[in-house]
């Protein structure tokens, strides 16, 4: 008779926050095509998550914890495929990438930080403890090359650059704490490149390499598969190359 210890462990669960967006949905599809069990979470899913509503992040994490317990499963891969560059803010005003400091706006800045930094930080608080204490596991947060301070030669895009730079620091800091509880864990920031989604479409220039969500998702999955625990806390692009801080 098999004891619980003798039973075959169930495959881990992957979660894609922002999994209803263009790139997020392609990631979900790509992972499912490999036979992985994937939970898609967005603002209109069940459970829902809204980075402008901190209570929803805690509630969503609790629902996920209950689901993992009920399934007897562990969280293997957490992907945060969210971001805000332009569009309506929580207050209903319109935000666009700033060309000059003259365009800096408190509401747009606050919303960019809420979606690109504060929301992911609260995801770290509530979801990272759900990752296992032993064995390989991954938390990947989608950043952007324009969040690199060292790579900034053009200026502009203040809110997006600053909020993604903040995310990079959060990822680096969380990776250190996560490694203390699990030496095989990975916590990284990823630059997806320019993808044909509503976030990037207005700014895709002639000559810029724009990839479909499906191609970008396949590239990012390959990068995540290829990373090792020694690379935790890093910032990598869709080709697996290190992006400067």
Task: Please give the structure tokens belonging to residue 187.
Answer: 């916590």
Contact in structure between 132 and 182 (CB atoms under 8 Å): yes
Looking at residue 20, what is its pLDDT? 94
Q: What is the mean pLDDT of residues 8-33?
A: 91
Rounded to the nearest integer, the mean pLDDT of the chain is 92
Q: What is the mean pLDDT of residues 13-28?
A: 96
Looking at residue 1, what is its pLDDT? 42
Sign of the dihedral through C-alpha 193, 23, 12, 78: positive
What is the spatial distance between Cα 159 and Cα 150, in angstroms, rounded to a whole number? Answer: 17
**Residue 199 pLDDT exceeds 80:** no
Looking at residue 36, what is its pLDDT? 93
Q: What is the mean pLDDT of residues 40-44?
A: 96
What is the spatial distance between Cα 79 and Cα 16, in angstroms, rounded to a whole number? Answer: 5
Rounded to 5 degrees, φ, ψ at 15 are -125, 135
What is the H or E stretch that residue 124 is in? helix 119-127
What is the spatial distance between Cα 128 and Cα 106, in angstroms, rounded to a whole number? Answer: 30
Q: Please state the three-class secondary structure of 6-51 as a single string.
A: CCCCCCCEEEEECCCCHHHHHHHHHHHHCCCEEEEECCCCCCCCCC
Looking at residue 5, what is its pLDDT? 46
- How does residue 4 score in pLDDT terms, banded at 50, 70 and 90? very low
3 state SS of 1: coil
Looking at residue 204, what is its pLDDT? 57
- How does residue 9 score in pLDDT terms, banded at 50, 70 and 90? low
pLDDT tens readout for residues 160-178? 999 999 999 999 999 999 9
Contact in structure between 13 and 65 (CB atoms under 8 Å): no
Name which residue leads in pLDDT, 9 or 107. 107
- How does residue 7 score in pLDDT terms, banded at 50, 70 and 90? very low
Cα distances (angstroms) measured from residue 149 to each of 106, 152, 210, 243? 21, 5, 23, 10
**Residue 214 pLDDT exceeds 90:** yes
DSSP state of 195: B
Q: Could you write out the DSSP letters of every residue in 171-182? A: HHHHHHHHHHH-
pLDDT tens readout for residues 69-122? 999 999 999 999 999 999 999 999 999 999 999 999 999 999 999 999 999 999
pTM of the model: 0.91
Residue 172 CB neighbours (<10 A)? 17
**Residue 3 pLDDT exceeds 50:** no
């Amino acid at each position: 008779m098999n004891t619980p210890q003798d039973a075959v462990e169930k495959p881990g669960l992957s979660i894609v926050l922002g999994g209803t967006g263009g790139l997020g949905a392609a990631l979900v599809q790509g992972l499912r095509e490999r036979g992985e069990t994937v939970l898609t979470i967005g603002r209109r899913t069940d459970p829902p998550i809204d980075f402008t509503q901190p209570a929803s992040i805690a509630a969503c994490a609790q629902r996920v914890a209950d689901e993992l317990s009920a399934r007897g499963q562990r969280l293997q891969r957490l992907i945060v495929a969210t971001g805000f560059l332009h569009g309506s803010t929580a207050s209903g005003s319109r935000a666009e990438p700033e060309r000059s400091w003259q365009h800096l706006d408190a509401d747009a800045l606050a919303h960019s930080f809420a979606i690109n930094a504060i929301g992911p930080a609260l995801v770290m608080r509530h979801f990272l403890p759900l990752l296992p204490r032993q064995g390989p596991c991954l938390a990947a947060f989608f950043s952007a090359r324009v969040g690199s301070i060292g790579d900034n030669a053009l200026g502009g895009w203040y809110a997006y650059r600053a909020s993604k730079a903040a995310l990079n620091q959060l990822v680096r800091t969380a990776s250190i704490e996560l490694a203390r509880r699990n030496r095989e864990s990975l916590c990284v920031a990823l630059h997806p490149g320019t993808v044909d989604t509503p976030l990037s479409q207005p700014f895709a220039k002639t000559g810029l390499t724009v990839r479909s969500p499906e191609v970008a998702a396949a590239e990012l999955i390959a990068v995540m598969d290829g990373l090792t625990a020694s690379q935790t806390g890093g910032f990598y692009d869709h080709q697996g190359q290190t992006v400067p801080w």
